């Protein structure tokens, strides 16, 4: 099961470099892991200081999150409050860049994270089912999604998924939330709603 509401065929795109994958980071001591995580946060902060366009920041964050967590599937969703839709300017499915069609806010975990402005994490498909995950494709065993907050508004979601049980823990959720909070202070293309 892929935890998403809609997607199109994968669209290959080049890889970014710099930060070691999360799997290799986890094999190191806590100091090495923390250094890699801080490098990602520093790079995002530098991009914000350079006042990159929001779309460029989304791309940078997506590539760095992909590298640090070493996941095959992730997306960054952006909420348009005016139209009530969620779009996906950055999506990776099965290690390939993907196009995901926008959809209306409604059932599903991305909408839940937006509505509650709180992270959601599960470690088994049964837990995902209980939380209202929408299944498409293979069986997703682990998922974590965090809101991108700008003031009082949830403007988007960063979500990771894995076919392994208990792939994400509270430390992963915290790191992802820290990254998302950095995105929330980035200049938005046009504030919706």
pLDDT value at residue 129: 94
Residue 189 placed within a domain: no
Residue 192 placed within a domain: no
Domain count, the chain: 1
Instruction: Write the pLDDT tens digit of every residue in 37-62.
Output: 788 788 877 877 777 788 888 998 99
Residue 130 placed within a domain: yes
Rounded CA gap, 165 and 163, in Å? 7
Residue 52 belongs to domain spanning: 2-184
Q: Whole-model pTM? A: 0.79
Q: Does residue 24 sit in helix, strand or coil?
A: helix
Mean pLDDT over residues 91-117, rounded? 94
Strand-pairing partners, residue 31, are none
Q: Does residue 171 sit in helix, strand or coil?
A: helix
The CATH number given to whatever domain includes residue 17 is 3.30.450.40
Residue 190 placed within a domain: no
pLDDT value at residue 25: 41
What region, left, alpha or beta, does residue 149 occupy, with left being phi > 0 and alpha being psi -120 to 50 degrees? beta
Residue 173 placed within a domain: yes
Choice among 6-10, 117-121, 122-126, 175-179 with the minimum mean pLDDT: 6-10
Residue 92 placed within a domain: yes
Residue 9 placed within a domain: yes
Q: What burial class does residue 157 get, using C-beta atoms within 10 Å of its C-beta: 0-12 exposed, 13-18 middle, 19+ buried?
A: buried
Residue 193 placed within a domain: no
């Amino acid at each position: 099961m892929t935890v998403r509401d809609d997607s199109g065929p994968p669209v290959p795109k080049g890889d970014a470099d710099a930060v070691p994958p999360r799997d290799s980071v986890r094999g190191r001591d806590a100091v090495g892991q923390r250094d890699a995580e801080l490098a990602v946060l520093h790079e995002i902060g530098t991009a914000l200081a350079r006042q990159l366009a929001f779309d460029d920041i989304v791309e940078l964050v997506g590539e760095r999150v992909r590298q640090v967590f070493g996941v095959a599937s992730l997306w960054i969703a952006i909420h348009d409050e005016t139209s009530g839709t969620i779009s996906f300017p950055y999506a990776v499915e099965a290690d390939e860049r993907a196009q995901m069609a926008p959809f209306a806010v409604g059932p599903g975990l991305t909408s839940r994270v937006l509505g509650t402005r709180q992270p959601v994490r599960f470690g088994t498909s049964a837990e995902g089912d209980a939380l209202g995950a929408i299944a498409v494709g293979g069986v997703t065993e682990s998922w974590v999604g965090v809101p991108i907050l700008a003031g009082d508004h949830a403007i988007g979601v960063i979500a990771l998924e894995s076919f392994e049980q208990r792939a994400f823990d509270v430390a992963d959720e915290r790191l992802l939330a820290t990254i998302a909070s950095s995105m929330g202070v980035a200049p938005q293309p046009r504030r919706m709603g």
